[in-house]
Structure 1
Amino acid sequence: MPDNSNKFNNNIQFDIPKWINAKYFEKVLLREDSNFHKILKLTPIPATPPGENYTSLMMRILMDIELKDGYTQQKSYIVKTMLDDDKGGTLINSLNLFPKEKLMYEQILPQLEQFYHDLGKKIKFAPKCQWIEQKSSRITIVLEDLNTKKFRNINRLKGFDMPHMKRVLEKLAEFHAASVMWHEKYGAYPDDFQKSYLPANYEKSKSYQARIQSYKAAMRTWGLEDYDKYMECIPNAEQFVNAAMGCFNTDPAEFKVLNHGDFWSSNIMLNYTSSGEVNQIRFVDFQLCKWGSPAQDLWELIICSVESNLRICEFDHFIRIYHTHLLKCLRVLHYVKPPPKLSDLHISMLKYGFWGYSTTFTHLVLILMPSDKDASLLKLIQPGDEGDKFRHKAYTNPLYVRAMLDILPFLYRRGILDF
């Protein structure tokens, strides 16, 4: 993604647009329930904490409504809409993230679910989309509020334990298998699903240089054995960009899926049985979906969303769990081509190991930050004293240091840091 700090606004969620009003939601409610009469009260509130959403405006809309039979009811929706140009939307909107997500909710996700429904299997991947509107180049998506069905996220600071990981990996395999069948039936995914947005001007970027300088300074405090060995492995700007470009996946013989593209715990919602076991799983946020090796989603999930004591020691086990269920799903869906071998998947994880490093360097840093109203990607990437202070805080955060003492040697042993 181009290195441009203007797209990030820590307080954007609190700036509720004037068009978010009762009149707008009357058409949504009428479409959902013919017994709807009128809205008694409407309250929009932020759906994400400050600093945790950089590409869209997300609101939870709470309503008291009256039905034609006189009964009253409470309703709740999640609304996701584009940032205004003067709030950082110009660049973000140029990346076509919303048209991609619109297509996912309108067409592709229902079709992926239909592959299983046709075989008598009630599998859902996403919240129900109640309304999509494109008006004056603005796209707005209205979704069911999964909180009303007792779906929730896990604690991102802790990560998934093994029972959770098994279920999430199997759900990911179901999603990936259906995406392969979509490709078989409908042909290539649209161009936006084939592209990667590479970092721009990293060689001249003061932001990247500042991050590297802060990172290496923090590494000295971690207590790494052979600190110099690891410090020399941290890629410079040119190496970083070249490694990112190496993840372009053009080999026609390689097994590919539609990656979620932003696959970590806050985009995975779960509800539970009365005994506390995982019941259902839904994925949210489909703006970064990309056709390519499943290694992309697997690296991000394992690096960013697994309990620290399991991440490395169970790494190969996680790949096997995913692979076993992937093959099962492909058989169920009557996939006729040779499926990938487990060894193929491991080779792919090595080949695209840059995803393991890049998500560690950027995403994991913020995920493991305890709640902090000042935490944002903007502060992580901005040069200068304020950025330096935040980076020192982030890179020396004990939760992040603990993770890095496992992850960095693991990536080194596998040759992933040979930039």
Structure 2
Amino acid sequence: MSKSKVNNVGDLLKHSLGEDVTVLSENTTLLTAPGEHYGSVMLALEVKIKRNTRGDEEVLHLVAKLIPASEMLRLAFDIPVTFKKEVFAYKETIPAMVRLQKEYGVPEEKHIDKLFPKCLGARLSVDENKNMVDEDAVLLFENLKIQGFITEDRLKGFDLSATTVILKDLARFHAVPIALKLLKPEVFKEKLLPAVVNNKGLEQLPPEVGQAFHNAIMDGARATPELEPYLDRIEKIVEYGRTHPWVLRTNPNEPWGTMSHADFWVSNTMILKDSNGTTIANKIVDLQLMRYWSCVCDLTFFLFTSVINSVLDEHFDEFLRVYHDSFIDTLKDFNIDLEPFSWEKFFEEFNTSGPTDLYHVLVMLKPICTERGKVTNSLEDFQDTDWSRKDLLGPNHRRKLRDTIFSIEKRGWLN
């Protein structure tokens, strides 16, 4: 059965709230529905605490991220490696980058920790001397939904205002690690690289699962009449992806190598809208798959998987400028030589490394566009068929695949 309770919450909270805290009660509910999240169990956790010295009580609205209940999902997401990476990121990597920003006098509102939900606790085990992920591994975050943040509809994608806000933050997410790499290489090696070590993935699962992801691209393309003229070129991308897995990407072109999210799509960032429906803020979530890749890989993956295609086509060049302007503005905080990061060199890197992520884009359209209600098994009962069944996909996948291929063609990348 899935865990419905987090052990030793009080001890975990004392690391962030201090020793003067007693947990009075806890209440948990499952946060995500089947087919919407796979890499972890997400619980909404309501904790009533007492501040012992003052005697006052407070209710904390939290989210607990636990390891998947299904052994298959633990294998698919390489949990012994990826959960450890995310715990390290929140406990060591992000604080190290904030220290660098403080050293250079960067205003607090620009600190990189503001890009993420506040983490109130992180552990691999209740045994603090244990450096292995076990059943008590957990990350505790503030519940962003209580503050009005939402996860956008994965079958819809982001509009102009949301994309603009998110791209500015994504650029900051990439630029601060680059500053750390250039200014304090030893700190970068000690405090950042452990958060971006490589992990295994779908190749560990039964062959039919990986093949289903692979086949979904060409099956969808062949079922879409408008894509008939592009089938040979799509198949070229698919075959390259089969023999050159994106997870085994070679070292990035420097100086563009950075802390790459490696899974930055609709469901891994949360947005806040004003009363007019305009996006005004964003929070990046789910850092467990991070890699050391070129920054343009995240950019490419996000744009083609997560932006409404009509918006993407109309504003593509504008989006690149928004990202680059924010990237440069962030580097300026550190008095770094900006010439290696000029617009011309960025644009060259985008057109060199960006196309290497196209297979990643096309493969991920399968889980992104899985029809609602098709996956009914709970996470502890998850089956490989919940990823491999052909009936999981329908018109939403064919539409998104068509529009994405058209968008890629407009960039001249469909060679």
Aligned partners of 2:400, 2:73: CA distance in 1, in Å? Answer: 32
Aligned partners of 1:206, 1:275: CA distance in 2, in Å? Answer: 46
Query: CA 1:214/1:17 → structure 2, altered by over 3 Å: closer, same or farther?
Result: closer
Which one has a larger percent helix, Structure 1 or Structure 2?
Answer: 2
2:323 is matched with which residue? 322
1:176 aligns with 2:160: no
1:130 aligns with 2:117: no
Measured after TM superposition, the shift of residue 374 of structure 1 is: 1.0
Letter in 2 for 1:411: I
1:119 aligns with 2:106: yes
Query: CA 1:210/1:289 → structure 2, altered by over 3 Å: closer, same or farther?
Result: closer
Aligned partners of 2:109, 2:356: CA distance in 1, in Å? Answer: 32
Letter in 1 for 2:198: K
1:292 is matched with which residue? 293
Aligned partners of 1:119, 1:144: CA distance in 2, in Å? Answer: 24
Query: CA 1:302/1:271 → structure 2, altered by over 3 Å: closer, same or farther?
Result: same
2:391 is matched with which residue? 389
Per the alignment, in what secondary structure is the counterpart of residue 360 of structure 1?
A: helix
Measured after TM superposition, the shift of residue 340 of structure 1 is: 1.9
Per the alignment, in what secondary structure is the counterpart of residue 272 of structure 2?
A: strand
Matches within 5 A, 1:207-218: 207-210=209-212, 215-218=217-220
Structure 1 residues 356-365 or 314-323, which shifts more?
356-365
State how many pairs are aligned. 390
Query: CA 1:218/1:338 → structure 2, altered by over 3 Å: closer, same or farther?
Result: closer
1:221 aligns with 2:211: no
Query: CA 1:359/1:293 → structure 2, altered by over 3 Å: closer, same or farther?
Result: same
Query: CA 1:27/1:341 → structure 2, altered by over 3 Å: closer, same or farther?
Result: same
2:160 is matched with which residue? 162
Query: CA 1:334/1:359 → structure 2, altered by over 3 Å: closer, same or farther?
Result: same
Measured after TM superposition, the shift of residue 169 of structure 1 is: 0.8
Contact 1:174 1:326 (C-alpha < 8 Å) held by counterparts:
yes
Aligned partners of 2:386, 2:327: CA distance in 1, in Å? Answer: 37
1:407 aligns with 2:404: yes
Measured after TM superposition, the shift of residue 130 of structure 1 is: 1.2
Per the alignment, in what secondary structure is the counterpart of residue 270 of structure 2?
A: strand
Query: CA 1:320/1:95 → structure 2, altered by over 3 Å: closer, same or farther?
Result: farther
1:3 is matched with which residue? none
Aligned partners of 2:413, 2:40: CA distance in 1, in Å? Answer: 33
Aligned partners of 1:120, 1:249: CA distance in 2, in Å? Answer: 36
Aligned partners of 2:232, 2:22: CA distance in 1, in Å? Answer: 65
Aligned partners of 2:347, 2:253: CA distance in 1, in Å? Answer: 18
Equivalent position to 2:141, from 140, 143, 148: 143
Aligned partners of 1:246, 1:266: CA distance in 2, in Å? Answer: 20
Query: CA 1:414/1:198 → structure 2, altered by over 3 Å: closer, same or farther?
Result: farther
Matches within 5 A, 1:1-400: 15-16=2-3, 20-21=6-7, 24-30=8-14, 32=17, 36-40=21-25, 42-65=26-49, 68=52, 72-83=57-68, 86=71, 88-90=73-75, 92-93=77-78, 96-117=81-102, 118-123=105-110, 124-135=114-125, 137=132, 138=134, 139-184=137-182, 185=184, 186-188=187-189, 189-190=192-193, 193=196, 195=198, 197=200, 200=203, 205-210=207-212, 215-224=217-226, 227-231=228-232, 233-235=234-236, 239-244=240-245, 248-250=249-251, 253-273=254-274, 277-336=278-337, 338-354=339-355, 356-372=357-373, 374=375, 378-379=384-385, 381-382=387-388, 387-390=389-392, 394=393, 396-397=394-395, 399-400=396-397
Aligned partners of 1:192, 1:64: CA distance in 2, in Å? Answer: 32
Residue identity (%):
20
Per the alignment, in what secondary structure is the counterpart of residue 357 of structure 1?
A: helix
Contact 2:213 2:363 (C-alpha < 8 Å) held by counterparts:
no
Contact 1:368 1:400 (C-alpha < 8 Å) held by counterparts:
yes
Per the alignment, in what secondary structure is the counterpart of residue 245 of structure 2?
A: helix
Aligned partners of 2:237, 2:276: CA distance in 1, in Å? Answer: 50
Aligned partners of 1:316, 1:150: CA distance in 2, in Å? Answer: 31
Q: Cα deviations across residues 4-34 of structure 1 (Å, max 9, x unaligned)?
A: xxxxxxxxxx71256x25xx22224555266
Query: CA 1:312/1:279 → structure 2, altered by over 3 Å: closer, same or farther?
Result: closer
Task: Give the CA RMSD over aligned residues.
Answer: 3.4
Measured after TM superposition, the shift of residue 379 of structure 1 is: 3.9
Measured after TM superposition, the shift of residue 161 of structure 1 is: 1.5
Per the alignment, in what secondary structure is the counterpart of residue 219 of structure 1?
A: helix
2:379 is matched with which residue? none
Per the alignment, in what secondary structure is the counterpart of residue 166 of structure 1?
A: helix
Measured after TM superposition, the shift of residue 254 of structure 1 is: 4.2
Measured after TM superposition, the shift of residue 297 of structure 1 is: 0.9
